[in-house]
Amino acid sequence: MSASTRILIIRFSSIGDIVLTTPIVRALKTQLEGEVEIDFITKKGFAAMLESNPHISTVISIEKNVNEVDTRLQDKHYDYVIDLHNNIRSKQVKQLVKMIDFTVDKRNVAKWIYVNTKKQWLPIGHFVNRCFMAIAPLGVMDDQQRLDYFIPDADRVGLDTLPSNFQSSYIAYAIGGQTPGKILPTDKIIRLCQKINKPIVLLGGEEDADRGEEIAKQAGSNIWNACGKFNLNQSASLIDQAECVITHDTGLMHIASALKKKVISLWFATSPEIGFAPWMPGEGSVIIEADSKKRPTSKLGNRGYRDGSVFNVDLDRIAQAVID
């Protein structure tokens, strides 16, 4: 290994998947000999969550096309490219840089078999483990540590800025999800919140704000809708200060794991067996899956949810998990 090693890591999206790459970033930085310079290319909307990571030298972001940064990539003269996305866009990066590359195995065939037969005839494995398998030829190993998430000081939210009854203690509930099959129906969220006799802060993006307002209106004064009011790093700050975190299969679930919170993750159309379960979350964490023989109905939660059977989950069990 040369005295200075330049590495480009590729992961364009999404929040949770990018957070899951952080152990690989850390291991490359700390285990390779000599000076290691790591750049990370992603979509512009996700750049802010990486810019405070001390293991990353430069975050390179694109709006849509790789050719937006082609000259910049070619000028860096990387030694290795670590492709943790393995899609058409990442292949374009590798063709552009033309250096030795290591690529994660997406195990798409194994996932398809599992979704369609409900049995794991072929191993899938956790995404983090598969990422480490990709870089094993470099002599880099899993350091058995948690995910990383670094919150900039400017984005830390003071508890004194919250409504008064949320300033001493609260439960965070990430109510969003990229696809409808990942999101507990609103009426069930309302009933769940009513069962939990503690202040609850609802977290999510602008797309979740209206639903959050309906939940807060129906569930009572112990609920505060913070959806759309904070950026991602600020939402992470609220998670960091929460007593525990209830979350759907979404990016905030992985941020909560990185921050070593007690994570109560809820699974509906998707399954943690697909390879994206919480990675080394805090003590007391629990995975709660809906009781449906149809699950998983798809890899992404975008099919097979409309009859509602995948949302057959024990609300009392979730509420008890908050207390336990």
**pLDDT per residue over 199-231, tens digit each?**
999 999 999 999 999 999 999 899 999 999 999
Share of the chain above pLDDT 70, in %: 99
**pLDDT per residue over 27-58, tens digit each?**
999 999 999 999 999 999 999 999 999 999 99
> What residues form DSSP beta bridges with 203?
174
Strands 200-203 and 223-225, by their bridges, are parallel
Reported as half-sphere exposure (CB side, CA atoms, 13 A), residue 117 has a value of 10
**Token pair listed for 161:** 């800025």
**15 neighbors 48 (Cβ within 8 angstroms):** no
pLDDT for 3 equals: 66
CATH assignment, 4-138: 3.40.50.2000
Closest CA to 110 of 127, 96, 94, 93: 127
**Superfamily of segment(s) 159-323:** Glycogen Phosphorylase B; (3.40.50.2000)
The rounded mean pLDDT for the chain is 96
**pLDDT per residue over 71-99, tens digit each?**
999 999 999 999 999 999 999 999 999 88
Q: Is the pTM of this model over 0.95?
A: yes
Q: Give the whole-angstrom CA distance, residue 210 versus residue 157.
A: 22
Instruction: Considering the chain, tell me which residue range(s) the CATH 3.40.50.2000 domain(s) occupy.
Output: 4-138, 159-323
Q: Is the pLDDT of residue 1 over 70?
A: no
